[in-house]
Structure 1
Amino acid sequence: MLIKVNEVTLFYQKYGSGNPLIMLHGNGETHEIFNRSISLLQEYFTVYAIDFRDHGNSSKVSELHYEDHAKDIYEFINQLNIKNPVYYGFSDGGIVGLMLASEYPNLFSKLIVSGPNINPKGLRICSRLMMKLMYIINKSQKVKMMLQEPNISLSDLSKIKVPTYITGGSFDVITKKHLYLIHENVKNSILKIFKYHTHTNYIVDSEIIGKYIIEVCK
């Protein structure tokens, strides 16, 4: 399905029935990374799985910024009149979730974010160096955004009032120190570290995160 927001067209798929659940993927991915989890989640939720702008079947753009992603998703929710959805975001999707929950404290019923960072320094040094090399080679706007953004302050995090669940892998590209920093500054939050997992492997083509979402939303 297609929807026009903020002068771009977003592609999304809708599955199942029940309370609304919005799912947003990470950088360079599409909603399809959640297919295995959606097969479980659609029994409990009406799932809206969205492709960010310049990803998947959504509109291509010349520049990318997290703020534009956040505006797109806010408009998506308003246009479809989705009331108090659960929000799940992975990586870039998690960043956008933190931004929206900070700016609109009553928008979500629950916020679940996996592997988010509030600034580029939250990434391990080796990951940042690799990204810099990638950008030198391909000048990708997706990589440029990760190198320069986000810039979410601790004051922004303190504005989040909704019950929040933060996850990471024990071998995540986001440092544990950074995940704990987010957890400590979001008052009503729980942090779960998935042992022996990376940034992606408990989420991409996995049922693990779907089971976790069901568990925390019971």
Structure 2
Amino acid sequence: MGDHVDVGGHPTWVDVRGRPVGDAQVVLLLHGGLSNCDLLLDALEPTLAARYALVAFDRRGHGRTADTSEPFHYEDMATETIRVLEQVVDRPAHLVGFSDGGIVAILVALRRPDLVRRLVLIGANFHVDGLRPLELGEDGPQVTAIAESYAQRSPDGAEHFPVVVEKGLTLMRSEPTLSTADVARIGAPTLVMAGDDDLVELSHTCALYEALPAGALAVVPAASHLVPVEKPDLVARLVDDFLGSAWPPATMMPIGRAREAAPAQP
């Protein structure tokens, strides 16, 4: 059931589903840009709700959370996420981030590793140069669907949508600017996932995976950047398997992972 919660002095839409937060491991779902928390909840709740407490929230200017006059920055979104972890979750959680939400998850893991159990990064880039060119016509079906979803939820009204789009595109064109050395500081086991025709360059996705000390990789065939929408059951199974398995995995012919010295994590 969703409701507005004061997060850093701003009414923020938070939705909690599945098992009670105090009785199970928590999975915090971080939505993509120009989206809202319903996207990942719809994809993952049927599979994960029986085992986990699912917490999702709409970032400032998205979904049911009102915008402010400030521009969008990923570091500010990470601060917002850390506050949700501290106020709503109140303990370490698994972070599942899609697109912009994956970037936010990376920043949270770098700033507050004490709050992160495992990461799932879906269609995420660590540097702005990792994105392929994207052309979205103003009257195209994707923009129309996003605009309708925004109008149905936003307390700012449909007329504010162009402002959010401009702030979102400005963000995407200028951030993030992390390096593989930054990524290498993430110690939490991390699943990197992407569609085989993703907005993020496949080489960039592989660079993200290869830079991680404890990484796993899933490239979903016949899928685009919107893989959680296109193949929700498969994405949910991959996430469920990753979160529920020991780390490092006990494969039959380890090569790169043969050098991992960390003890298995439940």
Structure-1-length-normalised TM-score: 0.90
Q: 1:13 aligns with which of 9, 12, 15?
A: 15
Q: Secondary structure at the match of 1:72?
A: helix
Q: 1:91 aligns with which of 99, 103, 107?
A: 99
Q: 1:1-218, aligned counterparts within 5 Å?
A: 1-17=3-19, 18-34=24-40, 35-62=42-69, 63-124=71-132, 126-127=133-134, 130=135, 140-203=166-229, 206-218=232-244
Q: Secondary structure at the match of 2:217?
A: strand
Partner amino acid, structure 2, of 1:194: V
**Bigger CA drift: 4-13 or 178-187?**
4-13
Contact 1:115 1:199 in 2 (8 A): yes
User: In the aligned structure 1, how far is the partner of 2:122 from the partner of 2:128?
Assistant: 16
* Residues 203, 209 of structure 1: alpha-carbon distance in 2 compared, 3 angstrom cutoff: farther
* CA deviation vs aligned residue, 1:50-92 (integer Å, no higher than 9, x gap): 1111001112122111111000000111112432211100000
Shift of 1:115: 0.7
CA RMSD of aligned residues (A): 2.0
Partner amino acid, structure 1, of 2:57: I
User: In the aligned structure 2, how far is the partner of 1:203 from the partner of 1:103?
Assistant: 30
User: In the aligned structure 2, how far is the partner of 1:25 from the partner of 1:101?
Assistant: 16
Shift of 1:2: 1.6
* CA deviation vs aligned residue, 1:183-214 (integer Å, no higher than 9, x gap): 11111111110011111033468233222211
Shift of 1:23: 0.2
Contact 1:23 1:49 in 2 (8 A): yes
Instruction: Specify every segment of 5 or more residues in structure 2 that has no aligned partner in the other structure, as ranges.
Output: 140-161, 245-266
Instruction: Specify every segment of 5 or more residues in structure 1 that has no aligned partner in the other structure, as ranges.
Output: none
User: In the aligned structure 1, how far is the partner of 2:5 from the partner of 2:193?
Assistant: 30
Structure-2-length-normalised TM-score: 0.75
* Residues 74, 189 of structure 1: alpha-carbon distance in 2 compared, 3 angstrom cutoff: same
Q: Number of residue pairs matched?
A: 212
**Bigger CA drift: 4-13 or 159-168?**
4-13
**Bigger CA drift: 48-57 or 2-11?**
2-11
User: In the aligned structure 2, how far is the partner of 1:86 from the partner of 1:27?
Assistant: 20
Contact 1:88 1:97 in 2 (8 A): yes
User: In the aligned structure 2, how far is the partner of 1:213 from the partner of 1:121?
Assistant: 27
User: In the aligned structure 2, how far is the partner of 1:147 from the partner of 1:182?
Assistant: 19
